[in-house]
A and B are shown apart, each in its own frame.
Chain A
């Protein structure tokens, strides 16, 4: 996805304005000229300058660089679905891993993504790989490195 430089430039200026507005609420350090608002304000100021420079470049190149050129995958429905699935699966993990548990959630994520990328023809090997990978990951991080990966609906099994 390629956009004309003026687009990130404009986004940057709006973002910098928001940052600056937020810093106005930061209290000054007693007895000091420089406090917690200084750095964010300097960053916002420099972001605005960079934003203006990007807008100028974008306008200068407006004939050669259109405002928005979608990436090839955006025009190819199967690849677009891959992207949505990837992001969706991460959100799915964030939402359900706590109560469903790491092993089932990881198994679902691996199965869905691998089936999508490899096709249904490899379903049996996909299921096997997903199961082994989820269990190995739980064993390695959960048992060996003591990361408290959630057990959820699965009873904690130590082996």
Chain B
């Protein structure tokens, strides 16, 4: 049987479909509740997927994230509180529409934009990943070293906050990755004789601590009063939607393209894609003055963009093992755990699994229609779930999820410490995503460097010997140098201007 038929068989299994529906409902719930993000949904889902076969595990993550990114629009439109950071770009617009009595239109546009954008991102993923994988098959440790460098640099630059703070976060992640026995020399590093540290810091406790526990801390210490649930009834969200969508079909396509491209950029995820698309939408609009007054145009642009970004971010993750954002950083960890080492060889040896992942993307976006509609209809009740009950249960989930991987309470301690560090970092403008990327990519970076040096007998110029490696190397070094040069030149000019 060919791999595509096999993939259909794998994904249409009733067990996998049930897992997808459950994960989708979980994602909708997490996304719709302000303060619980898509990344947190993924972080809490991973310990459960740990016990599944690769296809249901990955399908669960794909479905949950697609649902969570959309569901973030619901409290955005109804309460002016974005459910996930990816909805923040157009929360104001959607809420103003609700205030003008157009809640149905705002939610309808969000849902259809999310589905169409998501399908576009999935199509790009399914068509471009195998082609890129073919090229990536020719890569050696030299190319992987530069790819890892480039991915990490972009992650630090693109993340929120200043570039220096992004780098600090990245370096922290890279440092954590060096803890434990060095696989090359067999020498323990930074373990201080502790047996638990010998195996290194596992990424699941780190991720649950930094994304989920840090959020619990923020929630229990929040001094602002909790929001009031919306009062209005939601009618038919598809009423009058067709003409509006037809009018903004260019926006829909543009949002999807920008979302997919930005998503594929290492370090930039759906939230950044939504901000960029909203800004681009306003720049090219015929009526830019209407933006911010409850105008549907920006919602179409950004709403399709954030869901398209999901598919885009999986391209570098599956093809090169370089994550596009924090969610795919988690996915890469899951792929390693499932024995599907991300990279081009997975397309060669396990093509049916990769095709099944692509199919799960399409299916998840189609499922968004019935599940998303149900979530919109039950939004009043969903937003009534008290945070005072939810947060203690999430805390328990964090504990059990962390414990489940190695069955040791040491990991619970790791989660506590890293959660506190992540909380302090975010309070002071240090982004967290680069740290997780550093933790996941650190071993790849170090191994590819040391392997390359063993092959080249210590000659650093070998990193520029092969054509693709040389090109990647030059681009990476330019990314490092150009901002520094621009800054220095600006500084050099400033006194003249001032004088």
Contacts and interface: CB of A to CB of B under 8 A. Distances in A.
Interface string B158-196: 000000110110010011001000101101011000000
B220 A33 contact: no
B171 A94 contact: no
B120 to A, nearest CB: 36
A110 B413 CA distance: 18
Contacts of A57: 164
A2 to B, nearest CB: 6
Nearest to A1: B427
B178 A43 contact: yes
Interface string A116-157: 011000000000011001100100010001111100000000
Interface string A86-122: 1101110110011000100010011001100110000
Given A97-B409, A114-B392, A86 B178 contact: no
A47 B168 contact: yes
Given A33-B458, A110-B392, A147-B407, A87 B185 contact: no
Nearest to A39: B446
B178 A98 contact: no
Contacts of A29: 184-185
Given A29-B185, A43-B178, A79-B221, A54 B164 contact: yes
A159 interface: no
B449 A34 contact: yes
B231 interface: no
Given A39-B446, A98-B409, A1 B175 contact: no
Contacts of B51: 145-146
A81 B407 CA distance: 30
A60 interface: no
B388 interface: yes
B413 A34 contact: no
A66 interface: no
Given A26-B189, A40-B189, A137-B396, A93 B404 contact: no
Contacts of A40: 175, 178, 189-190
A17 to B, nearest CB: 13
Contact of A19 (B175, B400, B416): B175
B477 interface: no
Contacts of A79: 220-223
User: B interface, how many residues as a size bin?
Assistant: 35 or more
Interface string B431-450: 00000000000000110011
A114 B389 contact: yes
Among B389, B392, B427, the one with the most A-chain Cβ atoms within 10 Å of its Cβ is B392
Contact of B48 (A47, A114, A145): A145
A10 B190 CA distance: 21
B115 to A, nearest CB: 31
Contacts, number: 155
Given A3-B428, A147-B407, A109 B392 contact: yes
Nearest to A22: B190
Contacts of A83: 217, 220-221
Interface in A1-23: 1-3, 5, 8, 12, 19, 22-23
Interface in A38-71: 38-40, 43, 46-47, 50, 53-54, 57, 71
Contacts of A39: 174, 178, 445-446, 449
B386 interface: yes
Contacts of A94: 409, 412-413, 416
Contacts of A109: 392, 395-396
A36 B450 CA distance: 9
A40 B409 CA distance: 27
A56 B313 CA distance: 35
Contacts of B164: 50, 53-54, 57
Contacts of B396: 106, 109-110, 133-134, 137
A34 B427 contact: no
B403 interface: yes
A102 B404 CA distance: 12
Contacts of B187: 26-27, 36
B455 to A, nearest CB: 11
B391 interface: yes
B280 interface: no
A70 to B, nearest CB: 11
Nearest to B167: A50
A35 B171 CA distance: 19
B469 interface: no
Nearest to A97: B409
Contacts of A54: 164-165, 168
Nearest to B387: A117
A26 B185 CA distance: 10
A60 B420 CA distance: 28
Contact of A34 (B404, B409, B458): B458
Given A90-B416, A109-B396, A1 B424 contact: yes
B461 interface: no
Contacts of A86: 216-217, 220, 395
21 contacts: A5-B428, A34-B450, A34-B453, A36-B187, A40-B190, A43-B174, A47-B168, A47-B171, A50-B164, A72-B223, A79-B223, A91-B416, A94-B413, A94-B416, A109-B396, A113-B395, A114-B388, A130-B392, A133-B393, A137-B396, A145-B404
Given A32-B458, A149-B403, 13 more contacts: A34-B449, A35-B185, A40-B190, A43-B175, A50-B168, A73-B221, A73-B223, A90-B399, A90-B412, A93-B412, A94-B413, A110-B396, A141-B400
